[in-house]
Amino acid sequence: MNPALSVIAFTTLSGAGYGLMIWLGLLLPFHRQPPLPAGFGIWTLLLALVLVSAGLLASLAHLGHPERAWRAFSQWRTSWLSREGVLAVWTFVPALLTLLVLLGYLPPHWLLWLGPLLALSAALTVLCTAMIYASLKTVPHWRDWRVAPLYLLFALATGATFQLPVLNYFAPEFLLKMPTTTAQVALFVAFVLRYLQRRALRDSVSAPSLASAVGLPEGNAVKLFEGAHTEDSFITREMVFRFARKHREPMFLAALACGIALAGGLLEHASNAGPGIRPSFLFAALFAYAGVFFERWLFFAEARHVVSVYFERPDAGRG
């Protein structure tokens, strides 16, 4: 599948923003001894809203007619895309109410129910995004039980990493070992599950073969003389995207290097450096995002739509 940058930006930016909302919704109502600084909650929530808004705007850039996007909201009974849109808009309600509480315009005890509501709304939005892909029977790589937990894990991992620079800035004396370890574990678990998924799919995914396409039993050798199109079309550009096999593993290694080695190492260095503002937390967040960005590019680029059986050029994907 064509890894459109607008869709990758949408899923990664909004994922980080919703991950921030999940952690903040869980932390604020219950973290009282000592209480978290008010500035941490305000700026973390503002950062989350900026990331989510940027992601949603990026998704509009992928639409041919963005002015018609509002029509998708009416199909929530049957469409995961519509459910995602409804929940994405709804999540702004508890987020803005939480922001009003943090700014002192609403009673502080509202956080006891607003926090869990914000975390639940953000988590459900991420799961709806994942189900858009996991529900597609025509793309075997995506129709996998690990897609939904992977989207949620990467959202939690990037959200945990993004909140650390804000926490470090507003509370440099705060003991950061525990939240740093949480971010490292989230990154590690997410990338390990992604590695296991890629290995399992590489061995087991079975797209329709050329033999089945022409009505022959499986196992019969059918050789395609030439592709179905002599020029690129919408189908070949969007659904028959291929890239050389030799680039796959180096790109995934780059994702692991950024998301686990560099981000995890910088987090460890910053948390062991003692009290004070540590720029390493910021660089760790940027490397973690870069790792997830590479991973998401591969998520789209490695997926094969079943129409590729009919429209793929015989020599595509080699090298």
**Structure confidence at residue 255 (pLDDT):** 95
Q: How many CA atoms lie within 13 A of 143 on its CB side?
A: 13
Segments making up each domain of the chain, as ranges: 5-310
Could you give the residue ranges of the DSSP H alpha helices within the chain? Answer: 5-27, 38-61, 80-102, 111-134, 147-170, 177-204, 210-213, 234-238, 248-256, 263-271, 279-301, 308-311
DSSP annotation of 37: P
**Structure confidence at residue 244 (pLDDT):** 63
**Structure confidence at residue 315 (pLDDT):** 56
Please provide the DSSP assignment of 141-201 as one string: TTSSTTHHHHHHHHHHHHHHHHHHHHHHHH-TTS--HHHHHHHHHHHHHHHHHHHHHHHHH
| Averaged pLDDT for residues 162-173 | 90
75-84, 183-192, 296-305: range with highest mean pLDDT? 183-192
Tens-place pLDDT, residues 253-280: 999 999 999 999 999 999 888 778 889 9
| Averaged pLDDT for residues 39-57 | 94
Rounded to the nearest 10 degrees, the angle between the axes of helix 263-271 and helix 279-301 is 160
pLDDT beyond 50 at 219: yes
pLDDT beyond 60 at 15: yes
At 207, the pLDDT band (50, 70, 90 cuts) reads low
pLDDT beyond 80 at 14: yes
Q: How confident is the prediction for the chain on average, in pLDDT?
A: 86
The pTM for the full model equals: 0.88
pLDDT beyond 70 at 160: yes
In this predicted structure, which of 25-29, 82-86, 105-109, 274-278 has the lowest mean pLDDT? 274-278
% of the chain with per-residue pLDDT over 90: 53
Domain 5-310 has CATH 1.20.1630.10: yes
**Structure confidence at residue 267 (pLDDT):** 94
pLDDT beyond 50 at 319: no
CA distances from 41 to 116, 154, 280 (A): 15, 21, 21
